């Protein structure tokens, strides 16, 4: 197939749904890791067309959702300073901190700017030498290469008024936390195709073997998603548990080695706190010792922050596949897209936002 509409062909979608239905014999719980996949399933109505034996649960692959509250509050503390231009991807501005969000900082006069590439932040720093320019470097393996590149560029250009507030996370350690939990329900994973385009999927065979779970690298169009599901169901039904690649047009086993080298040149593996989940050992990247001068946390001394989560939000259970958004008592009531209580209602990859946009029928009928 060559064009995007071929990956949405209704006849091919129906054929794949029929094939999945023809081979499934018992109930299976399958987690799509990436929030982009959650949105695609719900947007195209695929979840409602699956056989009733297949239950999709939604994983932690939403970078905005898992960025810890402490980091949001640090961002707010830094962005409030009069000498700072704070730059971020747009989604992060609406994520509630303990008492407000970055949009509120901007409304109160803070210089908070939405950018589309971290390299823009470096340019802003060059153009404003009398200001401190901070970039909110969040995300999974997908955004890490560009963020590392921005730090490298700032160093190469000797730009001293640029720094990054880092909150990078990695997928494989989170999969192991989910599988190792005593309350785990997940029996197989659709792995995130774009993460694997960068990192490959060489980290997955040991996880598949250790926990005996099929892991299938999957893309984002309807045909991709159903091909991934079909491969997972075939493995589950036959008792297999291996890592396999259904997104071959974008993913190689070893991944993009140049991008990985760029990441490793700036970042090193570190323990990272995930919002709603807690600290996962070696699940993130932080600046390596060589690049500490670009660390906004140290530059602005915001390491000690007291946070206050909403008592209503059950995002942690949703991100681990233990509950669905419509099981949250606040869903569609105190928490809406217009007035979100938690990050999964804000992000374009958040599971709560996906249900709010596409599946409000599950609670309202």
Between CA 119 and CA 125 the distance in angstroms is 10
Q: Number of residues interacting with ligand SF4: please give it, by CB under 6 A.
A: 16
In this chain, which stretch among 46-54, 164-172, 250-258, 340-348 interacts with ligand SF4, using CB under 6 A?
A: 340-348
Among 325, 349, 358, 359, binds ligand SF4 (CB under 6 A): 325
| In the block, residue with structure tokens 């050992």 | 281
Q: Which of 17, 124, 149, 315 binds ligand SF4 (CB under 6 A)?
A: 315
d(CA 110, CA 123): 19
Question: Is residue 92 a contact residue for ligand SF4 (CB under 6 A)?
Answer: no
Question: 133 or 352: whose CB is closer to ligand SF4?
Answer: 352
| Residues 171, 200: Cα–Cα separation, whole Å | 12
For residue 250, report the phi and psi dihedrals to the nearest 5 degrees: -125, -20
Backbone angles phi, psi at 259, to 5 degrees: -65, -40
Residue 312 CB, nearest distance to ligand SF4 (Å)?
A: 5
Task: Give the nearer residue to ligand SF4 in terms of CB position, either 56 or 345.
Answer: 345
**Closer Cβ to ligand SF4, 60 or 340, answer by number:** 340
The reply on whether position 149 binds ligand SF4 by CB under 6 A is no
| Cβ–Cβ under 8 Å, residues 200 and 253 | yes
Which of 76, 198, 207, 314 forms a contact with ligand SF4 (CB under 6 A)? 314
Cβ partners under 8 Å of residue 168, min gap 6: 137, 138, 139, 140, 143, 144, 147, 267, 272, 284, 285, 286
Sign (positive or negative) of CA dihedral 177, 179, 185, 187: positive
Residue 118 sits in the site that holds ligand SF4 (CB under 6 A)? no
CB of 326 to ligand SF4, least distance (A): 8
Q: Is 330 in the site for ligand SF4 (CB under 6 A)?
A: yes
Regarding 313 and contact with ligand SF4 (CB under 6 A), the answer is: yes
> Alpha-carbon distance 140 to 121, whole Å?
19
Work out which of 56, 243, 296, 318 binds ligand SF4, going by CB under 6 A.
Answer: 318
**3-state class of 255 per DSSP?**
coil
Q: Please give the Cα distance from 198 to 3 (Å, whole number).
A: 22
Q: Could you tell me if 224 and 218 are in contact, meaning their C-beta atoms sit under 8 angstroms apart?
A: yes
354 binds ligand SF4 (CB under 6 A): no
Q: Is residue 331 a contact point for ligand SF4 (CB under 6 A)?
A: yes
Considering only 89-97, 125-133, 260-268, 306-314, which stretch makes contact with ligand SF4 by CB under 6 A?
306-314
Pick the closer one to ligand SF4 by CB: 219 or 340: 340
Binding of ligand SF4 by 344 (CB under 6 A):
yes
Query: Token digits for 239?
Result: 């008792």
- The CB-of-275 to ligand SF4 minimum distance in angstroms stands at 10
Q: What is the 3-state secondary structure (H, E, C) of 292-348?
A: HHHEHHHHCCCCCCCCCCCCCCCHHHHHCCCCCHHHCCCECCCECCCCCCCHHHCCC
How many Cβ atoms sit within 10 Å of the Cβ of residue 194? Answer: 20
* Identified binder of ligand SF4 from the candidate list 328, 347, 349, 358, rule CB under 6 A: 328
Among 352, 354, 358, 359, binds ligand SF4 (CB under 6 A): 352
| CB of 207 or CB of 341, closer to ligand SF4 | 341
Binding window for ligand SF4 (CB under 6 A); candidates: 81-89, 90-98, 258-266, 338-346: 338-346
Question: Minimum CB separation from ligand SF4 for residue 335, in Å?
Answer: 3
Residues that bind ligand SF4 (CB under 6 A): 312-315, 318, 325, 328, 330-331, 335, 340-342, 344-345, 352
């Amino acid at each position: 197939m060559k064009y995007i509409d071929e990956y949405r062909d209704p006849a091919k979608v129906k054929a794949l749904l029929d094939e999945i239905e023809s081979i499934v014999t018992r109930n299976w719980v399958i987690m799509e890791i990436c929030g982009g996949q959650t949105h695609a399933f719900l947007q195209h109505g695929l979840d409602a067309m699956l056989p009733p034996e297949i239950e999709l649960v939604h994983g932690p692959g939403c970078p905005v959702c898992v960025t810890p509250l402490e980091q949001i509050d640090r961002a707010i503390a830094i962005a409030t300073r009069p000498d700072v231009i704070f730059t971020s991807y747009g989604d992060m501005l609406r994520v509630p901190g303990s008492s407000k969000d970055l949009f509120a900082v901007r409304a109160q006069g803070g210089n908070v700017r939405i950018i589309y590439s971290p390299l823009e932040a470096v340019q802003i720093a060059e153009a404003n030498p009398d200001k401190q320019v901070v970039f909110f470097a969040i995300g999974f393996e997908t955004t890490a290469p560009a963020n590392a590149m921005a730090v490298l560029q700032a160093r190469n250009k000797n730009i001293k008024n640029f720094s990054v507030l880092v909150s990078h996370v990695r997928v494989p350690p989170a999969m192991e936390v989910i599988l190792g939990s005593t309350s785990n329900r997940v029996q197989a994973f659709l792995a995130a195709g774009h993460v694997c385009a960068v990192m490959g999927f060489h980290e997955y065979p040991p996880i598949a073997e250790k926990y005996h779970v099929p892991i299938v690298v999957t893309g984002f169009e309807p045909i991709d998603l159903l091909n991934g599901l079909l491969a997972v169901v075939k493995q589950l039904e036959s008792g297999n548990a291996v890592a396999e690649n259904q997104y071959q047009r974008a993913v190689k086993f070893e991944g993009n080695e140049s991008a990985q080298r760029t990441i490793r040149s700036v970042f090193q593996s570190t323990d990272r706190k995930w919002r709603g989940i807690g600290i996962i050992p070696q699940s993130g990247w932080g600046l390596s010792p060589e690049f500490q001068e670009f660390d906004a946390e140290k530059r602005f001394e915001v390491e000690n922050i007291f946070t206050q989560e909403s008592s209503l939000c059950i995002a942690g259970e949703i991100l681990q596949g233990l509950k669905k958004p419509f099981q949250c008592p606040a869903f569609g009531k105190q928490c809406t897209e217009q007035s979100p209580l938690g990050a999964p209602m804000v992000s374009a990859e958040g599971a709560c936002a996906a249900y709010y946009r596409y599946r409000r029928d599950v609670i309202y009928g």
